[in-house]
Amino acid sequence: MSDRKLYQQKLQAQLDEWHAELDKLKAQAKGASADAQHGMQEQIDALETQMAEARDQLKEFGAAGDEAWASLKAGLNASWESLKLGFKEAGAKFRKH
């Protein structure tokens, strides 16, 4: 299997993990106070938006030609790091509630 295909599968697996983590955050938000729910929901909405963008980039990456995928990889890596940070921050914030 090519490096590109392995990389794509790795990112898809991470995206699937984040989707499960987002479901946990949503469940946690439902059990929080009304005041806390508002802030939690804003963070959930932001993560959902970032995940949708990352999913779109991953699709674009998969459809890109052999020459273009190397340049797309940098943007994809940046999106993934941003998502990773977003989930880390959400986890820390949600543990407080």
Q: Which range marks the domain in which residue 75 is found? A: 3-95
> What one-character DSSP code corresponds to residue 1?
-
Supply the pLDDT for residue 97: 64
The answer to whether 50 and 86 are in contact (CB under 8 A) is yes
**Which residue is associated with the tokens 């980039």?**
57
For every one of its 97 residues, what pLDDT tens digit does the chain have, with 9 covering 90 and above? 788 888 889 999 999 999 999 999 999 988 888 888 888 999 999 999 999 999 998 888 888 877 777 777 888 888 889 999 999 988 888 877 6
R_g over Cα of the chain: 15
Alpha carbon of 29 to those of 22, 23, 52, 97: distances in Å?
10, 10, 20, 9
Q: Write down the pLDDT at residue 2.
A: 80
Instruction: Tell me what pLDDT residue 24 has.
Output: 93
Q: How many CB atoms lie within 10 A of CB 70?
A: 10
Q: Domain total for the chain?
A: 1
